[in-house]
Structure formats: structure tokens, C-alpha cells
Amino acid sequence: MKKNYFFKCIFGRFKFSFKKIALLSLFLLSTILSNAQTVTVTGTVTDESNVPLIGANVLVRGTSNGTVTDFDGNYSITVNQGDVLVVSYTGYQTKESTVGTGTTINFTLLEDAQSLDEVILIGYGSRKRTDVVSSVSTVDNDFLEAQPSADATRALQGSASGVTVVSSARPGQQAQVRIRGLGSINGNSPLYIVDGVNGGAVPPPDQIESMQVLKDASSTAIYGARGASGVILITTKSGRRNQAPKFQFNVRTGFGKSNAKYDLITDPNLIGQMIWLEQTNDGIVPNHPHFSFDPNDIKGTRVNDYLFPNGASIGDPSTDPSLYQERDYPITLTNKNGTDWMKESFRTALLQDYNLSVSGGSEKTVYSFNGSYFKEDGVFKNNSFNRYAFRTNVESQITDWLTVGKRIGATLSESRGNNPGFNAYVETSPLIPIYDIAGNWAGGVVGGNLNDGPNPVGHLFRERKDLRKNLNLVGTFYVEIEPIENLKFKSLFGYNMNWYSNHNPRFGDPENTNGSFVNTLGETRGNNLTWNFTNTASYSKTINEAHAFEIVLGMESTKFNLDEIEAGRAGYISTQDEFYYLESGAGAITNGSDAAAWSLFSLFSRAFYSYNDKYMIEGTVRRDGSSRFGANNRYGVFPAVSAGWMISNESFMEGTSGWLNRLKLRAGWGESGNDQIGNYNGFTTFGSGLGNSYYGIGGGDNTISLGYQSTEFGNPDAKWETTESTNIGLDATLFKGLDLSVEFWKKKTSDMLFRTTIPAVEGQALAPFVNVGTMDNKGVDIELTYRQTVNEDFNYSIGVNLSTYKNKVTKLSGADGDQLLGRAERGQRYTRAVTGRSFPEFYGYIVDGIFQTQEQADAHPVNGDYNQPGNLIIRDVDGNGEITPEDRTWIGNPHPDFTAGINIGVQYKNFDLTSIWYASVGNDIVNYHDRFPRWGLFQGPKSADRLFRSWGSPYLDDNRNAVLPKASSTTSFEQNTSTEHIEDGSFLRMKSIQLGYNLPDAMLEKLGFSNLRLYVMGTNLITLFDTYSGLDVEVSPENEIDRGFDEGTWPQPKQIIFGINIGI
């Protein structure tokens, strides 16, 4: 009613008719046509140097009428007088002009110097990007916001060339980052520098302004001891000068689901058919306590109604179905639908992220405050991670020559639950229900021949009380004095304090045939402190606008301390939280402690010179002293030098400025060190305990005595592991929109620290690390970015980065046949490293197919009695006419041929779309867990291929089309490492996609907001070209030597996230 009254008040006094409206419209139209004179406007678009700009956009504002300039920068467009022409060109500021009575309008566009003058962080300082002569990649806040994760390092995947990131599916766990391959058999993790302090914890993504990745030795050598594997510089957000307080509130919430794609048979009757097939192939009449069979028809297999316990025989009371309801008898109903243990363990996982920030500044002081709460449920039931994070940054210019500042952060995180190993899902039979008749967790004890292992769902429930807490406090305090212009002294003190506790209740798993009825509790309390004290003096000067130089001198001291205690107790009669304390147990008591310390003292310097923005040269040197080495070789010196030539600034390049805007050649050489060999390699260490002394002490004979024994022999002559790096790069910008960077690099690690073997007579102590190894890496990094502003409403960007590297161990210890072996699983070694090969590679037998006839099998080199129709054809590599372990050879490589990232950004009016893709091509994976469902080990769920596509299967029309050898319950040769376990690990995955909408300024003004953005995003939604049959093609290794070995990597979840950003 109010609406009608409103319109009546406004329009009630007017009486309308169609005739009057038509006449009025014709009159207005004729007036417009008579005044809007159509003209053809021509002109030229140039830059400040009067160089024509090719392909500049000329558009009539508010319309689709537009054109582009030709090769001479000329344009022609038909418009109306009074129209506004908008001219845009990537890399230049947009310009407008109103059409008057003239027909010629020329435009001179000013260069947008933002990208060229962008200041990026380098070691102990910053520099304009145009002056950088080393290898540095920048990851800005846009990539961080595209990752709905507690871990900021995941934003590096696909956004920086030469950087490999492998993420974990476990909520809150930091990704594994590697820069330019593997440079050592020891530590390969990069050094993280947060606000100038090394070794600090990586802040949450919403606190980070940008990350710089230093990749070559000319950029990392100034960090000396820990720069060999690259350096990641992290800058947290701060306020801006002369900015009113700005409040920003960000909320996002969503859900994730498991990305697992394992194809397993869980139908009990089909599992019975698998048993029928195996036993028939072995010449056995099919029989099993939980199935009935038709020996002549695989489809006649039926699962029994009940599962009988281990050791039961026909006639035992425990096998009488009439006693099913009696709790004293563990007989259990078979789950005839089949228990899908994975499906029962996964859930829809919720994610919540709330962040509030305030920033601003006056003429002298800038400040920012950031507080956030993040909670992510794991895709496994009873798994979760939550974190509270706070940070405050303040900087104040007290006088013209004195500036002080502080950056303080606190993070409290909590992680609950533990994922079961993948073994539980491929060993536990689908015949077993989740619960038995008594409501307890059902397991292998309820049925004979169903293997051991805990109930996977029960395991998740019992582990729900596993709790890990962490409190991290970080702080940076600095004073900067500038007594005279351009001379600066800076002192910085930083600390990283960490308190952690682990509460690990372990409840009995009586359903496991090898399980325990005993409840135990383990408690861990620990803390560590890293402090860092840095002093630098720097002087920079530009003379006659041609000679620019900078000198930096500095010293740095770092110290780390750790203290930890552990205690345990067994024999708890109650699992209630109120009673689950150490003193409540009645069983055995265990305890222990740990302590560690190391320190580093360094002196460093850097000098930079640039002439006329054309020629640049830089040199750095650092001297490190590490407590991890003996007195003989405690100090190492790490020099670096780099140079650049801005070719595009030469006079002979003037004719190319219309299309070639920047061309720079740069080269660098340097050395970095590595001391990641433990804290006490320079010293022989001892351990104490009962039983470590085997003779009477203090007169007591025949009693266990407390004593000491050596645990690790020291090597006082060990010296720094050194990585020498050479880098050649070419940077170019074409048409003000296409940026290209190509780098060729080579790294050589010498004096690589390797733990050699010692004679057995030396006892149980570990051998020390000695300097004997060398390793080479070389590769190419390419980054290509194109940005285009089509008109004032539409712009887009496409970025592609590509990296490739080759890795080779050129020496281990120098001893004949020396090798470094990967982990042993069921007697098999899948990975190893030797001189002359990559670190690591896969080693095993080569399979050349499947025997089709006995004649073919008899003609093949002898392999015991294995050569039979349906079995694998093993290649006789050494040609001696017999298959032996000496026929094993190199069968795969976990290193990709290349990796690539694709970043797409589109903005149309108030909408924006961003997408990040990552690809890995040519790497191999060992699918270790295929030996369970695909190759017949244990009686858990089976691969569909084993039943339907193995040699001799009644479901297979022609054995020549078999993808697996014949199924057998007696043959074990297939468990040996071979090419049958190696799969292609190539893939292309959409890591994230985000669609956003920004409210128009007019609406913001009414609402009183400075910005309001709504968005929806997804992660890991699409994976292309993925032929890997495992859980997830992105395999996360536990150790470098096991790279590419998949022991059941839990897949990264697919997520859908909704968010809103509000600014006031």
C-alpha cells in the first residue's frame, strides 16, 4: 500500500495517453539526433618518448564501440560529439578525452612504473626489481587468498618456477617444499625468514603480505649455512602512512570430501569368487570357512550367514548359530552387503575461517593488528585442526634519524585424532561388520582366515582423544638509525618460542588378532627457543643519476635450545577422561627426556653497483661458524657474485622500444652451505640406561647396573657440505604486457656428508658423517605472464611457469658397490641411490608380459618352478639363462620430466575469476599398496582387475587381453619389486578456482563500507591426465630416499568454500 501511495504522489498529477507519449518520444529523439553529430576521429597513441604503441585499445566509454592502434600507433573510430574516448595499454596509465568539434585526438600515455619499480625483498634488504641480478620469484597475496588452508606454503605450488610442493591431507600439517631439485642426501628443506628472523614458524596465510623465493646461490649465499636449499622470505602485513584506520573482516566457510579413487571390490560374493579363482588356479578344490562354493562354477559362490572365530571347528559351540544372541560366544553375522571401510571412515569435513584486521598510520607511525580463528575437520572421522592466531606490527619514526618497530605474533593450535594406516583398509575383510553382537568393534578374531589388524572405524574412534597442542610466540624488535643521509644502522632481535604437549592415550584393540587388551597413556611436554640477533650497517648513494651503489655489512648470531620430557603408564581400567591420568594407571611406568642445542655465528657483507641503469654487479660473502662441527672445521666461507646487463637501455636498442620494453641478461655464481647432519656430529655421544653396563659396579654382581655406552661416533674433521651454483637468466617485457623470464642453472654439491659403515667390532654406535659425496643438479626455469586491459570493464592475465631438472649422484663414499637404500617393506627395497644415477631411483625386475603357453614358459630362462602359463615373464637382464636377484635393474625414476603452473585471472566489471593449475609430467610412482588388493596379499577387499581381468579368469574372453597374471594364493614372486608396481605419475590438477563479486561503489557508499566482496572457491576439483591407480597421484614421501614411494598417501580433499570480505 505504501508503494502505491508513493507512486500516486509522484505521478498522480499527470494524465498519460499513448498518443502523448509517442509524440514526446519522437520530439526527444529528433532533438538528440540533431545535436549528436557523427564524426570520424583519428589520431596516434604514443609513449613519453613519442614511440608508437601498437595494439593500444581505443574505446568509447560505456559502449562496445572500439578499435586498436596499428603498427604506427594510428587509430580511426566513428563516434558522436560528446563521447568520451578511453585509451588503455598494458603497462601504461589509462587516459581519457572528450570528443569535441575536432577530428584529431592524439594520446600520450605515461608509463605505469609500478611493476618496474616494484621493490622486492632480498637478503637483509630490498631492491627495485629492475636492479635484481639474481634468481627471485615473488608470490603475492592473491595466491595466498586462493588457498583455503592453514598452511601458507601451499600457495607456492604452481605460482613459482623451480618450486615443488607436496601437501598432506592431514589438516594443519605443513607442506613439503623443495627448490630446484634435491641438492643433498641430507636436508633439502628451504630456510624460512619471517620479517627478517630466520627459523621462525610460517605465519597463517591471512597475516602474510608476500613471499619471495630465493633460488640461486647469488641470492642465498648471504644466508650461508642454511641457504643451499633455497630461501623463502616472508613479509607480514603492516599499515600504510597517512591512512585512516581500516577495518577488514573476512569470513569463509565450506566443506570438503575425500578425493580417494581406489577401486576395490567389497561385495562378499565377489570376494568369494576371488578365492574360488585363486584356489582353482592352484589346483585346489575351493574351500573356505566363510563361503560355500560350486567347484565347477565361479558364480555359484555364496557367503555364509555367520563368521566363526579363529580356531573354531565344526561342532564347537561357538559355531552354533542358535547361540548368536549369547554374548559369551563371539559368533558374528556376516555383513552380506560388504563393509566399505573407506566409506565408513570418511565424512564431509567442515572448514571455518574468521579473520579481523585493523591497519592504518599517521605521518610518523604505521600499525596493524590481525586476529584469526581457523578450524578444519579432517575427511577422516574424529580428526580436526583448529588454530587461534594473533599478530601486531608497529613501526614509528621517532625522529628524522631514528625508527623503531616491533612485530609480535602468537599462535595456539590444537590437532586431534590420528589417521589409520592404509594397511587397515586393504587388509580388513569387507565380510566383517563394524560391530559385533555385543556392540563392540568387530575384527579378525570373529572370523578365521580374515587376517589381523584393528577395525579401521574403531581405530578412528579410539584415536579421537589423541591430542597435540602447540603454543608459538614469535617476535621481532628493531631499531634503525640514520645519522646522515643514506647511512643506516639497524639492530634486530628476534625470538621464536614454542611450547608443545602430546596426549596419547592408546586403548586396547581386542578385535585385532594380534591386538592388546591393555590401555596405555603417553604424555610429552617440551619447549624450544630460537633467538636471533642481527646488526647491519648499510650505505647507498646515487651520483649524477648514473652511478648507484650500496654496501651492507653485518653480523648475526643464532642459538637454539630444546628440552623435552616423556612419561607413560599402562593398565587403565577406565577410559573416561576423568580417570585417564598418569597416576591412575596400575601397570608399567616408562619415562625419558631429551635435550638439544646448536648455535651459529656469522659475519656477512654485500656490495652492489649500477651504472646508468644498464650495467649491474653485486658481490656477497658470508662466514659462518656452526656448533655442529668440530673445532677443526667449524667455520665456512660462502662467496657469491652476480651481474646484469639491461640491454634494452642501450642506444642501439632505441628502434625496438615500441615492442621490446625490457631486455636484461644476468648471470650469477655462488656457494652456500649445509650443516643439517644433527647437532653433535663433531663429538662422540653416549647414552645411559639399565643394562648398558655388563659388569658389576660398586661391588654388586649379577645385577642389572646403570651404565653408559657410546651411541654415535664423532668426526671432528667433518667440514661444511657446500653447494656451488651457477645461474644464467634472461628477462624480457614485450608490448608492455608480455613478461618472460628464462633461467639456466646448475648446482654441484661437494663434500656431501655421508654416514659410512664401520666394523662390527666397534659396537652398536652409529658411524659419523664424513665428507665423501658429490651430487649434481641442473635445470631450466621459465616464467611467462601476459596481461591485457581490453577496456575499462575487462582485463585478464595468464601466467605459465615451467621447470625441469636432472639430478645425479656423482659420488657416495667412493667404495665399490656403495649404495644408499630406501626403506624396507616386507623384505623389499624399492628405492636406492648409487653413483652415476639419480637420487633416488627404483630398482627391481623388468616384466615383459605374461606366459600364454607352457612351450613359451619352457623356452624362457629358468626361474625355479615359476615359469608357467599365466605367470609373469621376467627379463633375464644379465643373460646367464637364469632368473636371479642379479637380474634386477633400474626400472623407474620419481623425478618429473617437468612441472608447470598455470595461473589465470579475469576481471569483468565487478566480477573476477582466478584459477591456479599445477602439472607434473614424466615422474614414476611405486604403488606399494597394490600388492594387497591387486596382487593378492592378505584377504581384504580386492581390485576388480584381479577378478575380472587376470589371466585365466572366467570373465575374460581372451587371456591375451589380461592385465594381470593368474590369481594365486601360493605364488609370491609377484611381490618382488618389478615394473608391474611402477606407474606413471603425470597429472594436471586444478589446485583452486575462485569466482568473486565486488559491490559497486554506489552501493558501498550507502552501506558505509569501503569494500565488500562475495566469492565462492573450490580446490582440487578437477584432475586431468591422471592414470595412476593409487589413492592420489600427489604422493608425499616421508624421506628423500623414498621419493615416489606410495605407501598409501591419503588424498587431498575436494573443497567448496564460500566467503565474504568486508572493509570499513
The tens digit of pLDDT for each residue in 498-541 reads: 999 999 998 888 777 777 778 899 999 999 999 999 999 999 99
pLDDT at 730: 95
Cα 144 from chain centroid (whole Å) = 13
206-215, 456-465, 678-687, range with the lowest pLDDT: 678-687
Check: CB of residue 625 under 8 Å from CB of residue 602.
yes
Instruction: For residue 681, give the H/E element and its range.
Output: none
Residue 66 vs residue 891, higher pLDDT: 891
Number of domains present in the structure of the chain: 2
Give the pLDDT band of residue 2 (cuts 50, 70, 90).
very low
Looking at the predicted structure, is the pLDDT value of residue 704 above 70? Answer: no
Q: What is the pLDDT of residues 465-489, one digit of tens each?
A: 899 999 999 999 999 999 998 899 9
CA-to-CA dists, residue 71 to 68, 75, 610, angstroms: 10, 10, 34
Is the same domain home to 93 and 183? no
- Tell me the chain's radius of gyration from C-alpha atoms: 35
How many CB atoms within 10 Å of residue 97? 15
Residue 226 domain flag: yes
Residue 466 vs residue 16, higher pLDDT: 466
Give the pLDDT band of residue 326 (cuts 50, 70, 90).
very low
Q: What is the 3-state composition of the chain as percent helix, strand, coil, each rounded to the nearest 5?
A: 15, 50, 40
20-34, 62-76, 365-379, 855-869, range with the lowest pLDDT: 20-34
Is the same domain home to 165 and 194? yes
Is the same domain home to 82 and 150? no
Check: CB of residue 130 under 8 Å from CB of residue 646.
yes
Which distant-in-sequence residues (6+ apart) come within 8 Å of 1060 by Cβ?
Answer: 250, 251, 252, 1012, 1013, 1014, 1015
C-alpha count within 13 angstroms, C-beta hemisphere, residue 631 = 0
Mean pLDDT of 746-772: 79
Rounded Cα distance between 613 and 117, Å, is 12
Is the same domain home to 217 and 241? yes
* Host domain of residue 141: 119-257
Rounded Cα distance between 936 and 54, Å, is 66
Mean pLDDT of 604-613: 94
Q: What is the pLDDT of residues 231-258, one digit of tens each?
A: 888 888 888 888 889 999 999 999 999 8
pLDDT at 27: 40
Rounded Cα distance between 693 and 701, Å, is 11
207-221, 625-639, 693-707, range with the lowest pLDDT: 693-707
pLDDT at 529: 94
Last residue of a domain, one of 233, 257, 281: 257
Last residue of a domain, one of 219, 236, 257: 257
Is the same domain home to 165 and 132? yes
* Averaged pLDDT score across all residues of the chain: 84
Looking at the predicted structure, is the pLDDT value of residue 334 above 90? Answer: no
pLDDT at 659: 86
Q: What percent of the chain lies above the pLDDT cut of 70? A: 89
Q: What predicted TM-score, i.e. pTM, was given to this entire model?
A: 0.83
pLDDT at 1037: 76
Is the same domain home to 40 and 95? yes
Rounded Cα distance between 842 and 1046, Å, is 12
Give the pLDDT band of residue 859 (cuts 50, 70, 90).
very high
Residue 493 domain flag: no
Is the same domain home to 171 and 220? yes
Exposed (0-12), middle (13-18) or buried (19+): which is 1024, by Cβ within 10 Å?
A: exposed
Last residue of a domain, one of 82, 108, 134: 108
C-alpha cell at 833: 641411490
Give the pLDDT band of residue 20 (cuts 50, 70, 90).
very low
Rounded Cα distance between 668 and 219, Å, is 9
C-alpha count within 13 angstroms, C-beta hemisphere, residue 583 = 1
Q: What is the pLDDT of residues 724-755, one digit of tens each?
A: 999 999 999 998 789 999 999 999 999 888 77
Mean pLDDT of 164-191: 81
Give the pLDDT band of residue 35 (cuts 50, 70, 90).
very low
Is the same domain home to 56 and 76? yes
Is the same domain home to 207 and 91? no
Rounded Cα distance between 1024 and 94, Å, is 39
Is the same domain home to 71 and 173? no
pLDDT at 506: 86
Give the pLDDT band of residue 114 (cuts 50, 70, 90).
very low
pLDDT at 777: 93
Residue 88 vs residue 817, higher pLDDT: 88
pLDDT at 4: 42
C-alpha count within 13 angstroms, C-beta hemisphere, residue 482 = 13
Return the CATH number at 65.
2.60.40.1120
The 3-state DSSP class for residue 321 equals helix
Mean pLDDT of 770-776: 88
Looking at the predicted structure, is the pLDDT value of residue 1056 above 60? Answer: yes
Is the same domain home to 29 and 89? yes
Looking at the predicted structure, is the pLDDT value of residue 872 above 70? Answer: yes
pLDDT at 118: 63
184-193, 204-213, 375-384, 549-558, range with the lowest pLDDT: 184-193
φ, ψ of residue 220 in degrees (nearest 5):
-100, -15
Q: What is the pLDDT of residues 966-1006, one digit of tens each?
A: 998 877 788 888 999 999 999 999 999 999 999 998 898 88
Rounded Cα distance between 955 and 973, Å, is 24
Which distant-in-sequence residues (6+ apart) come within 8 Å of 466 by Cβ?
Answer: 416, 417, 418, 503, 504, 505
Check: CB of residue 874 under 8 Å from CB of residue 845.
yes
Return the CATH number at 219.
2.170.130.10
Give the pLDDT band of residue 181 (cuts 50, 70, 90).
confident
pLDDT at 9: 39
Rounded Cα distance between 206 and 388, Å, is 12
C-alpha count within 13 angstroms, C-beta hemisphere, residue 624 = 26
Looking at the predicted structure, is the pLDDT value of residue 815 above 50? Answer: yes
Looking at the predicted structure, is the pLDDT value of residue 327 above 60? Answer: no
Rounded Cα distance between 1016 and 1000, Å, is 18
Q: What is the pLDDT of residues 393-438, one digit of tens each?
A: 999 999 999 999 999 999 999 999 887 777 778 888 888 899 877 7
Residue 201 domain flag: yes
Is the same domain home to 163 and 79? no
